[in-house]
């Protein structure tokens, strides 16, 4: 296994000039952030799990703020741009889309680019409802969607101490960080 391979730059031309090869680090980190408005009359989806609440998140898709942050972190870590580039909200195919399907598609593109997910750590910032009772199901659902063990997925929840739009219950935010490792050569 050559997980530590990374010829960052290697020379290979016959005339003695240095040829810069594409960089393929053994590890890459990715960061994601997302925010959606909270409105009445929508189902609240977080981490692919329906959550009992008076309001839901507004968006073109199911507006799962947590899955969107993770999806962006994965794509960013692999250097593949962002969720808007892969799944534009102007595309009618993604209207009301299950964000779990978008996450599955994103991780398959990450794997196709030569990287595996080692772990993801994320935080939902929401004034209400209390999410502690949903943590285990969110972790399991996200692990299933990404094809990893649940101990590779960590979800935290915080309030915004009643400050700003999140604290006033007008919106929710989520952040995510992922660590990716390169496939062994030839894998
Ligand atoms: Zn979003």
pLDDT in tens, 148-181: 999 999 999 999 999 999 999 999 999 999 999 9
How many A from CA of 2 to the centre of ligand 1?
36
How many A from CA of 37 to the centre of ligand 1?
10
**CATH class, 27-182 region:** alpha beta
pLDDT value at residue 177: 98
Per-residue CA distances from 86 to 13, 83, 89, 91 (Å): 36, 5, 10, 10
pLDDT value at residue 18: 62
pLDDT value at residue 184: 75
pLDDT value at residue 95: 76
**Which secondary-structure segment (H or E) carries 118?**
strand 115-125
Q: Tell me the domain boundaries of the chain.
A: 27-182
pLDDT value at residue 119: 98
How many A from CA of 66 to the centre of ligand 1?
8
Taking the CA atoms of residue 37, residue 42, residue 47 and residue 52 in that order, the dihedral angle to the nearest 10 degrees is: 110
User: How are beta strands 55-57 and 171-182 bridged, if at all?
Assistant: unpaired
Low-confidence ranges of the chain (pLDDT < 50): 1-12
How many A from CA of 11 to the centre of ligand 1?
43
Which residues, chain by chain, have CB under 5 Å from ion ligand 1? 34, 68
pLDDT value at residue 91: 81
How many A from CA of 33 to the centre of ligand 1?
9
b/e 37-62 (16+ beta carbons within 10 angstroms → b): ebeeebebbbbbbebebebbbebebb
How many A from CA of 99 to the centre of ligand 1?
9
DSSP per-residue string spanning 162-178: T-HHHHTTSEEEEEEEE
């Amino acid at each position: 296994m050559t997980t530590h391979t990374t010829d960052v730059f290697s020379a290979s031309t016959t005339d003695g000039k240095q040829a810069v090869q594409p960089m393929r680090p053994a590890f890459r980190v990715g960061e994601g952030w997302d925010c959606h408005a909270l409105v009445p009359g929508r189902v609240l989806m977080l981490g692919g799990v329906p959550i009992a609440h008076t309001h839901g998140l507004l968006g073109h898709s199911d507006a799962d703020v947590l899955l969107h942050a993770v999806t962006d972190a994965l794509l960013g870590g692999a250097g593949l741009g962002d969720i808007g580039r892969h799944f534009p909200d102007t595309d009618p195919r993604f209207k009301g889309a299950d964000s779990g399907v978008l996450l599955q598609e994103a991780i398959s593109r990450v794997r196709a680019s030569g990287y595996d997910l080692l772990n993801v750590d994320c935080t939902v910032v929401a004034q209400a409802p209390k999410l502690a009772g949903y943590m285990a199901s969110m972790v399991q659902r996200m692990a299933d969607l990404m094809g990893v063990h649940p101990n590779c997925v960590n979800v935290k929840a915080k309030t915004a101490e009643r400050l700003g739009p999140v604290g006033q219950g007008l919106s929710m935010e989520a952040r995510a960080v992922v660590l990716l490792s390169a496939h062994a050569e030839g894998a």
